Copies of this chain bind each other. A is one copy, B any other.
Amino acid sequence: MKIETLRWTNNKLEMIDQRILPASFKYLSYDSAASIAEGIRSMVVRGAPAIGVAAAYGVALEALRQQASAEFNAGMEAGFKVLATSRPTAVNLFWALQRMREVWQGVATQAPQQVAQRLLAEAQEIHAEDIRINKAMGAFGAELLPDGARVLTHCNAGALATAGWGTALGVFRSVVEAGKKISVIADETRPFLQGARLTAWEMVQENIPVTLITDNMAGHLMAHDEIDAVVVGTDRVAANGDVANKIGTYMVAVLAQRHHIPFYVACPLSTIDMNIASSADIPIEERSPDEVKGFRDCHWAAEGVQIRNPAFDVTPAELVSALITEKGVIHRPDRDKLRALFG
């Protein structure tokens, strides 16, 4: 089954509502930068690459919405602003907005209608590029995993986190495409349960064997030699190779090192932030306490308890066996190797 996380239909962007998967599969429709920003904030769409693509369409949608307006430029600036403040951690958001701004500046002298068409074309190119990049990463990553590997992943770095195919789950799809066997162990990934709801669902769709565990079980499985490798996605990689990803990734990386299990990060170049020297400068989003009190309408936490809800954590480069990019595999990433990647 081909999963279209985002699709352009009748001059609107439609996105799968990932808050209600897998119980319900439904598209929501978006026609402005503000509505896209709200879709990103509320996690209708999530996953760094998918957020980047959605933001690019948000800029195009705003241009189409404002093309008859006398205040076109001011309206566009407002659109960029609302999108930039939707979520702080995933760098692909800012990467996509910067790319769209540069395209806009390149045609700023043209009529708004032409600017809007050019921005829509660019968003569609970013969309198509993301899938091509994922497949290139998948092919490189597939070479790292032996036939029959039992691979742990955390959160959802799948088709639903991208324009399709996926980063970490894209590697798994490419392993199967290469004719090798794989079995996936999925952390449920509290509080939003991307592993139990999204990764498990994607793998079941693909008939890839998948086993669900709670986030506190990975160490036990590693200690019993039930995991051969870890592959995760990332929301932002610093210039020194530090990796920000879904909360809990760091604990998995530390356990993997203790058990001599390779820890791989699937990471398009758009997720590497060369402007940030180390993870110390990566903003970590703290989300609503309600997410931790329960799930959806199910509340179980004791009344009166305080709550912390950091959405991401940082895995230092020393724990990363390799970054899997569309330009190849970067073993033991460091500042020099990342600089060379962009050289």
Contacts and interface: CB of A to CB of B under 8 A. Distances in A.
B306 A209 contact: yes
* This chain: copies in complex: 2
A214 B200 contact: no
A217 B247 contact: yes
A301 interface: yes
Interface stretch (A107-115, A121-129, A172-180, A182-190): A182-190
Contact of A212 (B209, B251, B292): B292
Contact of A303 (B22, B190, B248, B250): B22
Contacts of A213: 292, 307-309
Interface stretch (A31-39, A134-142, A219-227, A324-332): A219-227
A218 B308 CA distance: 10
A313 interface: yes
Contact of A215 (B215, B295, B298, B303): B215
Given A223-B313, A302-B204, A303-B204, A216 B189 contact: yes
B251 A216 contact: yes
A342 interface: no
A255 interface: yes
Interface stretch (A2-10, A72-80, A191-199, A261-269): A191-199
B219 A292 contact: no
Given A251-B251, A292-B188, A300-B295, A307 B216 contact: no
A306 B197 contact: no
Interface of A: 22-23, 154, 185-191, 193, 196-198, 200-201, 203-204, 209-221, 223, 247-248, 250-251, 254-255, 258, 284, 292-298, 300-310, 313-314
Q: Closest 5 A-B residue pairs measured CB to CB?
A: A216-B248, A298-B298, A201-B302, A200-B302, A190-B214
